[in-house]
């Protein structure tokens, strides 16, 4: 008899407590406090992700810069590397990701108005010094 009572009572009590807990609403002031905490946390996570995107190499620099010597192909023979070099237009066509917000505003405007030659490998090297690019190029730059 006690066992049957427990089999009925435990789920009933659990269900009642579950409903009570999840139907309780936070007061508006408390809710806005939690919303603020969540927003701060989200902003922090976005910034951490941005930093990872820009700078984390995960040890790849030894492969790209060491074994492949990719930085020499980017530089081109005119700047101490090999071949014709890599222009910004070619890098973008190959899938390079650029964080435009990392560029100075004046340069953003000059690019927007066609005042920067995106077909010149020298421009690639100048842009690399500003760190607006993804980890692939950053890890290549570590060897320069």
pLDDT tens string, the chain, 144 residues long: the values are: 555 655 556 665 566 656 555 555 555 666 677 778 888 888 888 888 877 777 777 777 778 778 888 889 989 999 999 999 999 999 888 887 777 777 889 998 998 899 999 999 999 888 887 765 644 444 444 443
Q: Give residue for tokens 């620099």.
A: 61
Q: Is this prediction's pTM over 0.85? A: no
Q: 54 near 131, Cβ under 8 Å?
A: yes
What b/e readout covers 57-84, taking b as 16+ CB neighbours within 10 angstroms? beebbeebbeeeebbbbbbbeeeebeee
């Amino acid at each position: 008899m006690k066992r049957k009572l427990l089999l009925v009572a435990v789920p009933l009590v659990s269900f009642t407590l579950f409903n009570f807990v999840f139907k309780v609403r936070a007061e508006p002031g408390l809710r806005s406090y939690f919303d603020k905490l969540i927003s701060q946390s989200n902003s922090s996570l976005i910034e951490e992700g941005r930093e990872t995107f820009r700078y984390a190499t995960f040890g790849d620099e030894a492969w790209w810069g060491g074994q492949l010597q990719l930085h020499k192909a980017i530089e081109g023979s005119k700047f101490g590397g090999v071949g014709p070099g890599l222009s910004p237009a070619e890098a973008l066509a190959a899938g390079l990701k650029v964080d435009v917000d990392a560029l100075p505003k004046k340069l953003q405007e000059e690019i927007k108005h066609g005042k920067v030659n995106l077909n010149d490998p020298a421009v690639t090297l100048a842009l690399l010094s500003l760190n607006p690019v993804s980890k692939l190029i950053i890890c290549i730059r570590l060897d320069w």
